[in-house]
Amino acid sequence: MRVVHLPFAAALLVLSALTGAFVVVQRAGAQVAHPTASSGTLTEQDFHRILPTGAAQAATGTGPHAGAMPASALTTEDFRRMLPRTDMRTDTDATGHAPVHAFLANGPATPFDSAPIAKNPLAPDAVAVGAKTCIACHALENVHASHSLHLAAFRAGAAGTGPDAACETCHGRGSAHAKDPTGPGLIIAFTRDAKTPIETQTGVCLSCHKGGARQDWIGSVHQERGLACTDCHNPMARLSAEGVLANNSINQVCSTCHQDIRDKFNRRSHMPLPEGQISCADCHNPHGTLTADLIKTDTVNETCYTCHAEKRGPFLFEHAPVRENCLTCHDPHGSNQQALLVLPVPMLCQQCHTMTLHPNDLQTIAGLATGQAPDERLIGRACLSCHTNIHGSNNPSGSRFHK
Amino acid sequence: MCKALIAPLAVAIAACLASAAALADSSDSARVGDIQYGNALDPTGWAPLLWPDPRGFSWLHAGMMRTPSGVLYPYPPQRDDQGSPLYKDSDWVYGGFLQAGWLHLSGDTRAEFFRQYAGWKSGIALGLLALYADNPKTGQYVEFRGSRLSGDDQYYRLRAGQYGNYKIEAFWRVIPHDVTTDAYPLWNGVGSTNLTLPAPLVPGGSTPAQVAAVEKTRPRQTIGLTRRRAGLSFEDKLWGNWIGYVSVVNEKRTGTRLWGGSMFFNYVLPDNGGILETVRPIDFSTTDIGMGLRNVGNVWQFQLTYTGSFFRNHKDRLDFQSPFQLSNVAGVPQVANIYQGQFSLEPDNDYHNLRLELSRDLKWNGHLSVAAAWGTMRQNDALLPPVTCTGTGGVFISPSANYTFDCADWNTTAALSQKTADARIDTGLFDVKAVFHPTPKFGWHAGIRWYREDNKTNYLAFNPLTGQYGYISENGSQGSVVPGEVGIFDPRNPLYWSYVTQVRAIPFGYTDSILDTGIDWRVSEADTLNLSWSFDRNQPKYRERKLVNEQRIKLAWVDRALGKGTLRFSYEFAHRDGGPYNYDPYQPFYSTALPGFVTPPLGNAAFTTDAMRKYDLSNRIEHKLRAIVIYPIGDTATISGVVYATRDNYGAALGRQATRNRGVSLAWDWQPSPATSMSANLGRDDSRLQFSNVNDFENLLGQAGRDNPAFGGPLYPFANQWADDDRERDYNAGLTLRHDFGRVRADLGYTYTYALGKLGYVFASPGALSTTQQPFVATVGNGFPDNHYHINTLQLGFDLAFTRTLGMRVFDIFETGNFADWHYLGLQNSLVIDHKVYTDLGPHPHYRANLLGMMLNLKL
C-alpha cells in the first residue's frame, strides 16, 4: 500500500481546520466527532476541492505525484499548527488519562467506556489526540468503519468516556503520528507494511478480547505461525455478515491459507460448507483450543456428535475404531467416496478385517453387478448391506452390527 | 412506504429486547455449530451487500491495504453513510435490504449433486432480508437477516444487544440433505418403522423374478432428511468482569436414509439368503444446552462451561420383511419360517460435560493455563427381543442333531439378562500448558494433556429362558441355513458347547497422555523458527495393543522476507510403535472364556491371522510437509499457494501399508479498483493408499491346522495374499469476475471439479479370490473401472440499479455433471439380483441443470 502522502495530508488538515469542516457534537458532556454528514466527514468533492490537482490525483492513485513529497517537507511545528483542535476536553486529558464525565457518575454506560488505550512501544511518549484529529485525515476510513459493529462499539464507548476511547483505543495515542504521519511505527497499525510488531497488534486486540474463545490463543498453532488478528479480521469495514472478518465469509478467510481444504469440500461427499450452511469455525476454533487441530471439544468425536448426536450412544455393542475416532474411517473435509469415507467399501473394512471366512476375500470386477458372480460384499453399500449398524448396535443380537 | 413498514418492526424488536434484559450469546467461536448462515444461492449470507464502494477505502491512498501476511483486503462495501432515524428525534438509526423474486429450474433438477444440500424449488424465493438498527449513543443494536429458497432451505437469525454488555441471539433454520434422488424402495411404509412388501409379493415366499417384476413398478423416491433447528442464547455481563451465558438449541431431524437388511449370504448360496437395501426412518430430536461463566482479569482468566446434549430417537426400530425363502444347506430339506428382520435404531442418549479452565499470566512474559473436564454419555433404552420371528427356526438333521430353536424362547424381552441397556461412558480431561517468552527473540512452551474414556457398559448375552448364551444371528436366518450357526453357546448341549460366539459387550475405552514442548526463536525481524516435540502415549482397552506410543517432531519456519511475501513452512516427522500386538484380544468376551466351553478336537478356527495390523494401532513412520506462500504482486494483486505432501509407512505385512498424498493449489486475486475484481484458482491433489490382506483357505476349516493363525501357515498361506492400490487424483479450478459498470454490475463465476479414482489389485494366486470368483480369475484383470466425479458450474449475474433504492438482479446458474462409481454399475438394468434387492441407483451418471433467477433489490 502507499503511505500517507504528506502534501495531501497537510493540505487536508489545514483546509479542514480553516473551513470548520468538522462539527463537534456535544453529548452528555463529551465532545465527539460523530460520523454524520453534518459532522464534517469530507466528501469526495471536498477532497478534490481542497487539494491541489496533483495531490488529489496522488491520493487517488491516479496522478504522477503519489508519494512524491518527502516527510521533511513539513516540520513538526507545521503539523502542530495545521492539525485541528483536538476534541479532547482539556490539555490534561491529552496526556492520556481518560476524563471522568458526569455521565459516568453512576457507572459506565457500556463496558467500552472503560476500554484501555493501547500502548505503542514505538511511540511511548505520544499523547491522545481524539477522534476528531484522526478523522481529519481518515475521513473515508471513518465512514467505512462506522458500518462495522466493532467500531460502533468504540464510538458508543467514546460517547461516555471521551474521544480518545474511539480510534486510539486500538491504534494508540496519536500525537506522534499526527505530527509525523509517515513516521514508521508511530501509530499502531495492523496491516502488511506496519512496523508494529505482530505481538503488539495481537496484544491490542486481546486487551479486550482476552479469555473466552481466545483463552487458548497463546501457544495455539496460529499464534505460533505468526498470524495476526487482522490476518483474519478487519474491523475497519463490514466485509462479512458477522465476525468482523477480513473477507466475505469465514470459509473464504480460512481458505486464504487452507486452499487444499477448500478444494476437498468440492468432492463428491462433503459437509454443506460450499453451500454456505456451515463454516470451518463450526468445528474449529481458530483462536486456539485444547487440541492441536483446533477442534472445539475434548475430542474429534465429541465435535462430530454435536451434529450426529445419534452416533454418540453408548451402544450395547461398540465398534472400537468408531468409538475412538471418527477420522479412522471418515475425512470430514470431503471425500470421493460415499459418506466421507477414506476408501471405497469394502476395501475400507478390509484394511483391518482379515477374519476367517468371508471378510478377507479379494474382491474383483467379477463381483460387480455386471460381473459373472455378483457379490453383495461389493455392490451398493457392500459390507454395510449387512453390518448396517456399523456405528454401534443397541440390539441384543447386534454384536456384529447386523441388527 | 417501506420505511413506514420497517420502522414499527424495528421498534417492536427493540422493545422485545429491552424487556429481555439478561439474555445473551454463548461464546462465539467456542461454540460448535450455527456459526454460519447462508445457502447455495448465497453462501456468504451477505452477498447483495458486498458490492464495493466506488470511493475505495481511503482518501489518503489508492488501492486496498493488505493483511499482515500480505493478502489484499476486499474493498469495503457500499453502504449509506448513515442509517435513517427510527422515528423523529430517535437515537436509533436503521437500515435494511430486501432481495426477493422468482427462481426457475429446468433440466435434470433432481440430480443428486445439484441439490445435495440445496433446497432449490421453482417459485418465489427470498434471497436476503437484512434489517439492522443501532443506537450510537447507548451502543445497543439489533440485526436480523433471513433467506428462503424453499420450505426445506431457509434461515432467519436475530442478533441484538449492547456492545460489551449483553447479547441475544435467536435463530430458526432448515437445512436439507438429499442422500439420493434416484431410489426405488421395494417396500411400503418408507419413513415408518415397518417396511412391508407390496402385493402380490409374499414374505418369505417370493422368487427373484417376482420381486424384480414388482420392483420395476415402484415409484422413484428421494431419500434424504431435513434438519430444523431453532436456538436461543444469551450472554450477559453479570457483575465486574464476570460474564455468563446460556444457550438452548433444538433440532428436529426428519426423513429417511438408505439402510440394510441381512437374511444371510447370497453370493455363496445362490437362490438362498437375502441381502436387502432397505430404507430407515429418521425422526430425531436433539436439545443442546450450553452454560458458562467466565472472568477475564488482568492476571487471571477463568472459564467454567457446561454442555448438555439430549438426543431422542422417536423411531427406535426398523422392522422389515424379506421376500425370499431360506433353505438349509444340510440336513432335512425344509423351509424356515424366517422372513422378519429387525434393526434397533439409535437409542436416546444424554450427554453432560463440565469444563473448568484457568489461565494466569506469569513473569517472563509467561502464561499458564490449566483445564479439567469431566463428561459422561449415557443411555438406558429398553432393549428389543433378540428376534421377531415366530415358530421354529434352525435346521433339523436328526434327533441327536437338532439345531432348531423355538422363536418363542427368543422373541421376548424375557430372553434377556437385562431389560435396558444401562450403557455409560465417562470421560475425563486434564490439560496444563505453560508458555514463556522471556525475550522477544526466544520463547518456550510445554504442556501435558491427559484424557480418558471409561466405558462402564456391561452386558451379558444370556437367555434365562433357555440357559443359553449368545444371540440369534441375522434374525434367525444364519442358523436356518447352516446347521448350528444359530449364534448360541450352551455348555450343557454338545451341539453348542463348542460354538464360538460373543457373549459380552466389549467396553472399549482408552487413556491418552500427551507431553509436548517446544521453542520459538526469532532469528531475525523477518524469520521465526519453531521446533516442537511431542510424545503421545495411548493406552487402549481391549484392543490389539495395550500401548501405542508416538513421538512427533515438528519444525516450522515463518519468513516475511521473501520479497514482499510471507512463507509458512512446516515439516513433521512422527514415529509410532507400541507394545506387543495381540491379534485376538477379544477372547474374554466370547464363549471361549465361559465355563463349560469345550475346545473341539481340531481346535477353534483361528479368529484372524497374526500378521494383520490394524492401522490405527500399527507402527507408522510419517513425514508431513507443508508450505503456504502469500506473495503480493504490485498494489493490486496477490498470488498465494499451498504445497503439501504426506507420506505414511505402516509396519504391516497385512493391513494398511502406505499412504501418499501430495498436492498444490494456487490462487490469484486481482482488484485493480473498487469497480473490478477477479480471482482464479487451480489445484491438483494426488493420493494413494495401499493395503494387503490374505484370504483364508476355507477348505481347511474342517481339518487340522484350522487353528493356526500364522501368516504363511496352512490357513493363511502366502499364496492367498492379495493387495489393493487405491489412487485418486483431483483437479479443481475456479474463476470469479466482478465489474461495476455503473448502473449495471456484472458477476461471473465458474467452478470445475474433476476427481478420478483408480482401484487396482494384485494377487498371489487364484486362492486369494472368493471361491465364487475363482472360476473367472482369467477375466478379472487387475482393477475396477475408473470412478469419476466431474462437475462444471457456471454462474452469470447482473445487478441493475433503477433508482438509489430500487434495483434488480438477474442471474443464471448452469451446472453439468458426470459421475461413475462401480458400486452402482449394472443396477440400472435391475435392482434385483438373485436374492439381493437394492434401492439406490446411485447418483445420475450425467446431468444438466439450470437455475434462472430474477430478484428485486430494495434498499430499505
Tell whether A73 is covered by a domain. yes
pLDDT at residue B793 greater than cutoff 60: yes
State whether A134 and A58 are in the same domain: yes
Backbone angles phi, psi at B712, to 5 degrees: 100, -5
Q: Write the pLDDT tens digit of every residue in B230-280.
A: 999 999 988 888 999 999 999 999 999 999 999 999 999 999 999 999 999
CA-to-CA distance for A130 and A168, rounded, in angstroms?
7
What is the chain B residue with the closest CA to A6?
Answer: B60
Backbone angles phi, psi at A224, to 5 degrees: -65, -30
With contact defined as beta carbons under 8 Å apart, do A132 and A84 qualify? yes
Residues of A with Cβ-Cβ distance to B614 under 8 angstroms: 321, 351-352
State whether A352 and A244 are in the same domain: no
With contact defined as beta carbons under 8 Å apart, do A283 and A296 qualify? yes
The angle formed by the CA atoms of residues A97, A101 and A105, to the nearest 5 degrees, is 120
Tell whether A288 is covered by a domain. no
What is the chain A residue with the closest CA to B525?
Answer: A197
Tell me which residues of chain B, numbers 800 to 819, contact chain A at a CB-CB cutoff of 8 Å. Answer: 819
Tell whether A333 is covered by a domain. yes
Q: Write the pLDDT tens digit of every residue in B542-564.
A: 999 999 999 999 999 999 987 78
Total residues belonging to chain A: 403
CA-to-CA distance for A375 and B776, rounded, in angstroms?
13
- Band (B169; pLDDT cuts 50, 70, 90): very high
pLDDT at residue B19 greater than cutoff 60: no
B167 interface with A at CB cutoff 8 Å: no
- Return mean pLDDT, chain B: 94
Residues of B with Cβ-Cβ distance to A402 under 8 angstroms: 262, 473-475
Size of interface A-B (CB pairs under 8 A): 652
Dihedral sign for Cα atoms in the order A257, A261, A267, A270: negative
State whether A141 and A191 are in the same domain: yes
Q: Which domain holds residue A168?
A: 6-199
pLDDT at residue B308 greater than cutoff 90: yes
Q: Write the pLDDT tens digit of every residue in B423-453.
A: 999 999 999 999 999 998 999 999 999 999 9
Tell whether A59 is covered by a domain. yes
CA B5 to chain A, closest CA, distance in angstroms equals 23
Q: Is B776 in contact with A366 (Cβ distance < 8 A)? A: yes
What is the chain A residue with the closest CA to B310?
Answer: A309
CA B396 to chain A, closest CA, distance in angstroms equals 22
CA-to-CA distance for A121 and A129, rounded, in angstroms?
17
With contact defined as beta carbons under 8 Å apart, do B274 and B262 qualify? yes
CA-to-CA distance for B205 and B202, rounded, in angstroms?
5
Q: How many Å is the maximal CA-CA distance in chain A?
A: 94
How do the residues of chain A divide into helix, strand and coil, expressed in percent and rounded to 5? 40, 5, 55
State whether A234 and A168 are in the same domain: no
- Band (A84; pLDDT cuts 50, 70, 90): low
CA-to-CA distance for B71 and A256, rounded, in angstroms?
8
Q: Which of B38, B421, B775 sits opposite A394 (nearest CB)?
A: B421
Q: What is chain A's Cα-based Rg?
A: 30
Q: Write the pLDDT tens digit of every residue in B564-575.
A: 899 999 999 999
pLDDT at residue A113 greater than cutoff 60: no
**What does the block give as the cell for A248?**
466475505
Read off the amino acid at residue B566.
T
Give the residue among A223, A160, A142, A230 at the shortest CA–CA distance from A189.
Answer: A230
Which residue among A259, A282, A305 closes a domain?
Answer: A282
Q: Write the pLDDT tens digit of every residue in B755-784.
A: 999 999 999 999 999 999 999 999 999 999
- Return mean pLDDT, chain A: 78
Q: Which of A42, A224, A282 sits opposite B530 (nearest CB)?
A: A224
Exposed (0-12), middle (13-18) or buried (19+): which is B192, by Cβ within 10 Å? middle
User: How many folded domains does chain A comprise?
Assistant: 3
B641 interface with A at CB cutoff 8 Å: yes
Q: What is the mean pLDDT of residues B674-698?
A: 97
Q: Is B833 in contact with A379 (Cβ distance < 8 A)? A: yes
Which residue among A199, A229, A244 closes a domain?
Answer: A199
Annotate B658-691 with b (16+ C-beta within 10 A) or e (fewer): bbebebbbbbbbbbebbbbbbbebbbbbebbbbb
Give the residue among B597, B664, B289, A319 at the shortest CA–CA distance from A311.
Answer: A319
Question: Sheet of B194-195: strands edge to edge?
Answer: B194-195, B317-321, B340-344
Q: Which of B36, B76, B118 sits opposite A239 (nearest CB)?
A: B76
- Band (A193; pLDDT cuts 50, 70, 90): confident
Annotate B782-805 with b (16+ C-beta within 10 A) or e (fewer): ebbbebbbbbbbbbebebebeeee
Residues of B with Cβ-Cβ distance to A293 under 8 angstroms: none
- Band (A147; pLDDT cuts 50, 70, 90): confident
What is the chain A residue with the closest CA to B762?
Answer: A362
**What does the block give as the cell for A83?**
492539525
- pLDDT score for A292: 87
pLDDT at residue B210 greater than cutoff 90: yes
Tell whether A136 is covered by a domain. yes
B89 interface with A at CB cutoff 8 Å: no
The angle formed by the CA atoms of residues A91, A95 and A97, to the nearest 5 degrees, is 105
Q: Write the pLDDT tens digit of every residue in A17-67.
A: 333 332 222 222 233 233 333 333 444 554 444 443 433 343 333 333 333
SS3 B132: strand
Q: ipTM score here? A: 0.95
Residues of B with Cβ-Cβ distance to A192 under 8 angstroms: 65-70, 564, 632
State whether A226 and A79 are in the same domain: no
pLDDT at residue B186 greater than cutoff 80: yes
Kindly report the number of other CB atoms within 10 A of residue A23's CB atom: 14
Tell whether A23 is covered by a domain. yes
State whether A195 and A219 are in the same domain: no
What is the chain A residue with the closest CA to B240?
Answer: A111
CA-to-CA distance for A165 and A115, rounded, in angstroms?
7
Mutate to test the interface with A, among B344, B345, B485 (most CBs of A within 10 A): B344
- pLDDT score for A154: 75
State whether A338 and A381 are in the same domain: yes
Strand ranges (E), B523-653: 527-541, 548-562, 565-578, 612-613, 620-633, 637-650
The H or E element spanning position A374 is none
- pLDDT score for A162: 64
Q: What is the mean pLDDT of residues B675-694?
A: 98
- pLDDT score for B28: 59
Residues of B with Cβ-Cβ distance to A274 under 8 angstroms: 40, 43
SS3 A125: coil
Residues of A with Cβ-Cβ distance to B35 under 8 angstroms: 250, 278-279, 281-282
Q: What is the mean pLDDT of residues B631-649?
A: 97
Which residue among A240, A262, A282 closes a domain?
Answer: A282
With contact defined as beta carbons under 8 Å apart, do B77 and B29 qualify? no
The H or E element spanning position B796 is strand B787-801
- pLDDT score for A78: 62
B375 interface with A at CB cutoff 8 Å: yes
CA B725 to chain A, closest CA, distance in angstroms equals 10
Q: How many Å is the maximal CA-CA distance in chain B?
A: 100
SS3 B265: coil
CA-to-CA distance for A143 and A40, rounded, in angstroms?
11
Q: What is the mean pLDDT of residues B206-230?
A: 98
* Cis preceding-peptide flag for B200 (omega within 30 of 0): yes
B229 interface with A at CB cutoff 8 Å: no
- Give the range among A58-62, A192-196, B336-340, B494-498 with minimum mean pLDDT: A58-62
pLDDT at residue A106 greater than cutoff 70: no
pLDDT at residue A109 greater than cutoff 90: no
Exposed (0-12), middle (13-18) or buried (19+): which is B220, by Cβ within 10 Å? exposed
- Band (B331; pLDDT cuts 50, 70, 90): confident
State whether A32 and A176 are in the same domain: yes
CA-to-CA distance for A55 and A62, rounded, in angstroms?
10
**What does the block give as the cell for B721?**
495374499
Give the residue among B140, B125, B99 at the shortest CA–CA distance from B10.
Answer: B140
> What letter does residue A258 receive in the DSSP assignment?
-
Tell me which residues of chain B, numbers 127 to 166, contact chain A at a CB-CB cutoff of 8 Å. Answer: 134-139, 141, 145, 159, 162-165
State whether A15 and A71 are in the same domain: yes
pLDDT at residue A224 greater than cutoff 70: yes
Tell whether A206 is covered by a domain. no
With contact defined as beta carbons under 8 Å apart, do B141 and B160 qualify? yes
B244 interface with A at CB cutoff 8 Å: no
Tell me which residues of chain B, numbers 251 to 290, contact chain A at a CB-CB cutoff of 8 Å. Answer: 258-262, 265-268, 275-277, 284, 286, 288
How many CA atoms within 13 Å lie on the side-chain side of B622?
Answer: 20
Q: Comparing A23 with B160, which gets the higher pLDDT? A: B160
pLDDT at residue B806 greater than cutoff 60: yes
Backbone angles phi, psi at A11, to 5 degrees: -60, -40
Strand partners, B666: B641, B682
State whether A28 and A159 are in the same domain: yes
- pLDDT score for B288: 97
Q: Which of A27, A153, A400 sits opposite B163 (nearest CB)?
A: A153
* Cis preceding-peptide flag for B176 (omega within 30 of 0): no
pLDDT at residue B206 greater than cutoff 80: yes
pLDDT at residue A122 greater than cutoff 50: yes
- pLDDT score for A210: 85
Q: Write the pLDDT tens digit of every residue in A152-177.
A: 777 776 666 666 667 888 999 999 99
With contact defined as beta carbons under 8 Å apart, do B338 and B393 qualify? yes
pLDDT at residue A100 greater than cutoff 60: no
Exposed (0-12), middle (13-18) or buried (19+): which is B822, by Cβ within 10 Å? buried
State whether A262 and A162 are in the same domain: no
Q: What is the mean pLDDT of residues B714-725?
A: 98
Q: Is B823 in contact with A320 (Cβ distance < 8 A)? A: no
Q: Which of B56, B768, B836 sits opposite A362 (nearest CB)?
A: B768
pLDDT at residue A310 greater than cutoff 70: yes
Annotate A234-260 with b (16+ C-beta within 10 A) or e (fewer): bbbbbbbbbbbbbbbbbbbbbbbbbbb
pLDDT at residue B70 greater than cutoff 50: yes
B563 interface with A at CB cutoff 8 Å: no
User: What end-to-end distance do the CA atoms of chain A give, in Å?
Assistant: 65
Q: Which of A226, A396, A400 sits opposite B461 (nearest CB)?
A: A396
Q: Is A398 in contact with B344 (Cβ distance < 8 A)? A: yes
Q: Is A314 in contact with B379 (Cβ distance < 8 A)? A: yes
pLDDT at residue B366 greater than cutoff 70: yes
State whether A175 and A34 are in the same domain: yes
B629 interface with A at CB cutoff 8 Å: no
- pLDDT score for A27: 28
- pLDDT score for B26: 39
**What does the block give as the cell for B802?**
433503477
Q: Write the pLDDT tens digit of every residue in B335-360.
A: 778 999 999 999 999 999 999 999 99
The H or E element spanning position A59 is helix A53-59
Q: What is the mean pLDDT of residues B829-840?
A: 98
Tell whether A292 is covered by a domain. no
- A317 contact partners, CB below 8 Å, separation of at least 6: A392, A393, A394, A395, A398, A399, A401, B459, B502, B505, B506
